[in-house]
Amino acid sequence: MANKNLSAAKRAKNDEFYTQWHDIEVEMNAYLDYNPDVFRGKTVLLPCDDPEWSNFTKYFAQNFDRFGLKKLISTSYAPESKKLANYAPSLFEQGSAQYDELKSRARGKIFVLDRDITGDGRINIDDLQWQYLENDGDFRSNEVTRLRDEADIIITNPPFSLFREFVSWIEHGKKQFIIIGNVNAISYSLIFNMIKNDQIWMGCTIHSGDRKFGVPDEYPLKAAGCGIDENGLRFIMVKGVRWFTNIDHGRRHQPLALMTMADNLRYSRHKDLRQLGEYQHFDNYDAIEVPYTDAIPSDYDGAMGVPITFLDKYCSEQFEILDANDLRINENVPQKAHGLIKDKDSAIDGKPKYVRLVIRHKR
């Protein structure tokens, strides 16, 4: 049900999901553990984060000195709906000298921090002072794109409905990034090719299960798992969430422990694999199907179709990712924009399987 609610949000362009502080903190710690100076001397841009509410903004502001940041920039998007008469502005907005102009046209917010404003190494979140942008704060605007060009690292939870376009925007600026998206984004040709070419990989800390995101007051809480927390904040549980990044961390260099084909078939904890007694071959692709990540054999040198959640454990020094289009054995199978084994062409003995990523051992 949560995924249905997410789909509804995408259709409505209702993408204001607020990331939890804990999820931000544990992920950033993974990069700091691998490289304590990863943020030192850098300008960090948070281009989809309302400085009045965003935990990204609060987290990096509080750790400004500890991380050694050069500058922190946070911007938000003001949708056209904010022009409507029933839009309820915050007390901070009402107190702004620019409020009358805000009522006539949508304007995003911007917060810039380039020094410890308290002088004691700590930032009082209540003291953060933001201003209005000239325009609505859309990341694709010239105004925010100039901020992208100034930044070294982009970190945010971008709009779910614009994830592909957001990654393209980052890549065009040739920036480092740590962003949140859905694991199924690998089916976008842009994302697949970047993963295949080792230009983007999964983050360190979110691998399975639902994640809680805050949502605006007007967001409908109709799906299972949604609710209101002890602080009165509305939230939704979303499946399949992952961090995507091009910044190094230690997890991606850890090889996956494997067994031989015979041992996997004999001792697999997966009953259906033991019953088959063999790895099956796709009808339309020259690859065997490996239905579980922990069933990848150590002694098979050919192509293997694995679940896309394999990316959580992917070590590029151990495996290479292949383009399934190059493995077609049936001339009637159309070439796909992405390089996955997917949909009706993923059949084994005529029965379609789930989407598969194709890998091969590096020797």
Q: How many CB atoms lie within 10 A of CB 12?
A: 11
Question: Distance from first CA to last CA of the chain, Å, rounded?
Answer: 43
Amino acid 353: pLDDT: 86
The amino acid that residue 103 corresponds to is K
Burial class of 229 by CB neighbour count within 10 A (0 to 12, 13 to 18, 19+): exposed
Q: Average pLDDT, stretch 41-57?
A: 91
Structure pTM? Answer: 0.84
DSSP state at residue 174 = T
Q: How far apart are CA 292 and CA 273, in angstroms?
A: 9
Q: How far apart are CA 315 and CA 255, in angstroms?
A: 6
Q: How confident is the model at residue 271 (pLDDT cuts 50, 70, 90)?
A: confident
231 within 8 A of 52, measured Cβ to Cβ: no
pLDDT exceeds 80 at position 118: no
Q: How confident is the model at residue 125 (pLDDT cuts 50, 70, 90)?
A: low
**Rama region for 174: left / alpha / beta (φ>0; ψ in -120 to 50; rest):** left
In this predicted model, what pLDDT tens digit does every residue of 59-113 receive, in sequence order?
A: 999 899 999 999 999 999 987 544 444 444 444 444 444 445 554 468 899 999 9
Q: How far apart are CA 103 and CA 122, in angstroms?
A: 35
pLDDT exceeds 60 at position 232: yes
Q: How far is CA 157 from CA 3, 22, 163, 272, in A?
A: 17, 14, 9, 38
In this predicted model, what pLDDT tens digit does every residue of 7-45 receive, in sequence order?
A: 443 433 344 567 888 899 999 999 999 999 999 999 999
pLDDT exceeds 70 at position 158: yes
Helices and strands per DSSP (H, E), number in the chain: 11, 16
Amino acid 14: pLDDT: 44
In this predicted model, what pLDDT tens digit does every residue of 308-357 receive, in sequence order?
A: 999 999 999 999 999 999 999 988 899 998 999 998 899 999 999 889 99
pLDDT exceeds 90 at position 198: yes
